[in-house]
Amino acid sequence: MSPKQAAACCRAVDDLLDPSLFKALSDPTRTKLLTCLVKCSRPCSVTEVADCCHVDFSVVSRHLALLEKAGLLTATKEGRTVSYAVQYASLCRTLRNLANAIEECCPAADAKSCKGNCCGKR
């Protein structure tokens, strides 16, 4: 199948390859902040995250807001303190579904033996 033919067929992978998710994960600082929050296993204030990652508070705040907008984090505000928590179930489900959709297109380990299952051709 040609790339043009493949682009014309719609499968789950089309909806799951969300540019906003990949934009959120494409910045090394954001991935470091997300990793820090994942390992903490609890909501953390912007100040706590800034301290653990040695990044300026204002920069951390902007990055965390972008991760929240992408659906990776939730934010809660108490007074002037904003805390962020990882959306573990949502993140795992999204990544697992994406991996399954990619595998559905070509479950073979190498592209040479791929049968082109993604668009219904076998």
> What is the CATH number for 38?
1.10.10.10
Does 23 reside within a domain? yes
Domain around 85: 3-117
pTM of the shown model: 0.76
User: What is residue 105's predicted lDDT score, i.e. its pLDDT?
Assistant: 76
Per-residue model confidence as pLDDT tens digits over 77-102: 999 999 999 999 999 998 998 888 88
Q: Total domain count for the chain?
A: 1
Q: Which of 120, 35, 121, 19 is nearest to 73 (CA)?
A: 35
Residue type, 48: E
pLDDT digits 0-9 by tens, 2-55: 676 666 665 677 777 788 889 999 999 999 999 999 999 999 999 999 988 778
- Residue 22 counted as domain residue: yes
pLDDT number for residue 65: 95
Q: Residue 110 above 60 pLDDT?
A: no
Could you write out the DSSP letters of every residue in 23-63? HHHSSHHHHHHHHHHHHHTS-EEHHHHHHHHT--HHHHHHH
Kindly state whether residue 122 falls inside one of the protein's structural domains: no
pLDDT at 70 over 90: yes
